[in-house]
Amino acid sequence: MKKIAIAIDGPAGAGKSTVAKILANRLNYLYIDTGAMYRAFTWLVLNKRIDLSKAEQVQCLLDTISLRLIPQKEFCRVLVNGQDVTMAIRQPEVAALVSQVAAIGIVRKKMVQLQRQMAEVGGVILDGRDIGTVVLPKAELKVFLTALPAERARRRWRELVEQNAAITFGEVKSSIMKRDKLDSERELSPLRPAADAVYLDNSLLTFDETIEQIVALIEERCK
C-alpha cells in the first residue's frame, strides 16, 4: 500500500494528537506533532520571559531555537535546545498562552517551514489547526476532527488530573472555549476545515471507533 500525507485539524481537546499517534504506530508512518512545536516555543517564551509585543525579541528566539521531535511508541518527545520539555509543555500556563503565540506571523512562518521540511519524506501524519489549509494544502487526506466543547473539556481535564495538575473542570472548559475563540477568529491561519476535508465529530465515538473511521478513509485514498 502506498504511503500518503495525512492532515488532521481540529480544536483543542478533540483528540487529534492521540489519534494521530495511534495511526502513525499502526501504519508505520512518521508522526509530526505540530501542536507540540508551538507549545515548545511558548514554553521557551515563558522560560526566557520574552515580551511578545517586541518582535525583535521573538525573532531572536526563533533564530536561535533548536527544536527536535523524537518519535516514541506512546508519545513524541520534545527537546528544546537539548532540554526535554515533553511534560513541561503540557502545563496550564503554556496552554493559556499558546494560541496567542501561534497567532504571531513570524512564529507561524518559522514553524510551517520546519513542518514542511519534516513532511518532505512522505508517509507522514500531522495534526494541528491549519495543516490542511496552510502547511500541507496538497495532502492526500485531510480530516477535520472535532467534538462538543464540554466533551473536549472533559477529556483534557482527565488528562491533567492524571498528571496531578490542580485544576477544576470549569477552569479547563473556560480555557477550551477561550482558545476556540482565539483560534477561529485570529487573522492569520484561523482554525477552519479545508474545503476538501472530511468533517468528523467524535463526541459520541471512542478513540478506537474514531481511528477505524480514519483508517477506512486512508485505505480509500491509497487504492
pLDDT tens digits in sequence order for the chain, 223 residues long: 688 999 999 998 899 988 998 999 899 898 988 889 999 999 999 999 999 999 999 999 999 999 988 877 666 789 999 999 999 999 989 999 998 998 899 999 999 998 888 888 778 999 988 899 999 999 999 999 999 999 999 998 998 888 877 889 999 999 999 989 988 988 878 899 999 999 999 999 998 999 999 999 999 998 7
In the structure grid, which three cell numbers stand for residue 157, read together?
481535564
Helical residues (DSSP H) of the chain, grouped into ranges = 16-27, 34-47, 55-64, 92-102, 105-119, 149-162, 169-185, 207-221
* Alpha-carbon gap, residue 218 to 34, rounded angstroms: 20
Q: Identity (one letter) of the amino acid at 156? A: R
pTM over 0.85: no
> CA-to-CA distance for 200 and 204, rounded, in angstroms?
11
d(CA 59, CA 36): 19
C-alpha distances in Å from residue 128, one per residue of 39, 43, 64, 134: 11, 17, 24, 11
Q: Which domains can be identified in the chain, with CATH numbers?
A: 5-221 (3.40.50.300)
